A and B are shown apart, each in its own frame.
Chain A
Amino acid sequence: MSTQLISERVAAGHRSLRAKAVGSLGPLTMFGGVGWAFLQPDRITLLHPRGQGFWWLLVEPPLLAIAVGVVFALFVAPGVIDDLEAEER
């Protein structure tokens, strides 16, 4: 294992509470959507697509919640955490 990788892991281990909180927003939203899908599987029309109209197949609330979590975790949170850690260093 390279020293750069080790130092990155150590840095990640010492991530501040605020950085952890920002980093957890996306995954928490995704888990919320997954949990919701298990609680109300009828709201996932992809599981029973026969006879469903276009909008019922396109707009599925638990999947939308998961999508928001993914978008936030991939495109917003990493930059915020980078800037926060740069400020804290």
Chain B
Amino acid sequence: MEPPAEHVHWLFATGFLLLGLCLLARALVGEEIWSRRPWRAYLWPALLFGLGVLMWPVMVFYTNSTIHMIAHGAWAQTMMLAGAAELGLVRGKLHHTAWRLAMPLALAVSGTALLIHEQNGWLFARAAFLHHALGWAAFVGAIFPLVGAFRRRSPVWSSGFALTLVVISVLLYSDRDVAPIFGHLSPLAGEPHR
């Protein structure tokens, strides 16, 4: 009854897309107006924390090697840490600027884990290409929340962060089980599906 792996990617893509839209709206109107309604202030950190929690069953049920398990575990932990830190900041329990670095840390660790755990080249198959693209998108995209932590009123960095998440969702939506990428599919990848 477990969903196929690509379906899990698509469900996470949906979560990231909603997260990206919320952060884009927040970047457009500013943190002050976005947080005017308490439920809305908690929305995106809670969504991020929830995505981190949901990554644990993915780690348990979908990992077929140690490196996959470590990578999925790292995503789960860093997403939960970033979500929890932002929840603490919104609630007023946390104050130090350093807590805002949890988000760039999550993206940098996620990007690194994606790049390290993908053992094949870019054009091996679509999944390999997407792992490389996702890894670099997350790693380079970490610059936006990193600078945004110190320049909180600048819409450029907060918009960049939101758009990074939208790009990540598009890449996750593009995942297929075994499929060619730009006409390339290694014979070692197996028979293409759908």
Instruction: Please report A residues at the B interface, Cβ cutoff 8 Å.
Output: 18, 21-22, 25-26, 29, 42, 54-56, 59, 61, 64-65, 67-69, 71-72, 76-77, 79-80, 83-84, 87
B window 85-134: CB within 8 A of A: none
Chain A residue, CB-CB nearest to B1: A54
Chain A residues near B18 (CB-CB < 8 A) = 68, 71-72
Partner of A76 from the list B3, B11, B13, B40 (CB cut-off 8 Å) is: B40
| Interface range for B | 20 to 34
Complex: A55 Cα to B175 Cα, angstroms: 15
Complex: A3 Cα to B7 Cα, angstroms: 51
Chain A residues near B17 (CB-CB < 8 A) = 29, 64-65, 68
Distance in Å from the Cβ of B185 to the closest Cβ of chain A?
A: 18
Chain A residues near B34 (CB-CB < 8 A) = 80
Q: Is the CB of A61 within 8 A of B194?
A: no
Distance in Å from the Cβ of B25 to the closest Cβ of chain A?
A: 5
Interface residue B21 (Cβ < 8 Å from any Cβ of A) = yes
Q: Is the CB of B10 within 8 A of A68?
A: no
Q: Is the CB of A22 within 8 A of B3?
A: no
Complex: A26 Cα to B17 Cα, angstroms: 11
Complex: A42 Cα to B176 Cα, angstroms: 13
B window 22-78: CB within 8 A of A: 22, 24-25, 28-29, 33-34, 36-37, 40, 43
Q: Is the CB of B21 within 8 A of A59?
A: no
Interface residue B186 (Cβ < 8 Å from any Cβ of A) = no
Complex: A26 Cα to B28 Cα, angstroms: 14
Chain B residues near A26 (CB-CB < 8 A) = 21
Q: Is the CB of B22 within 8 A of A76?
A: yes
Q: Is the CB of A77 within 8 A of B25?
A: yes
Distance in Å from the Cβ of A20 to the closest Cβ of chain B?
A: 10
Complex: A63 Cα to B108 Cα, angstroms: 30
Chain B residues near A76 (CB-CB < 8 A) = 21-22, 25, 40, 43
Distance in Å from the Cβ of B177 to the closest Cβ of chain A?
A: 12
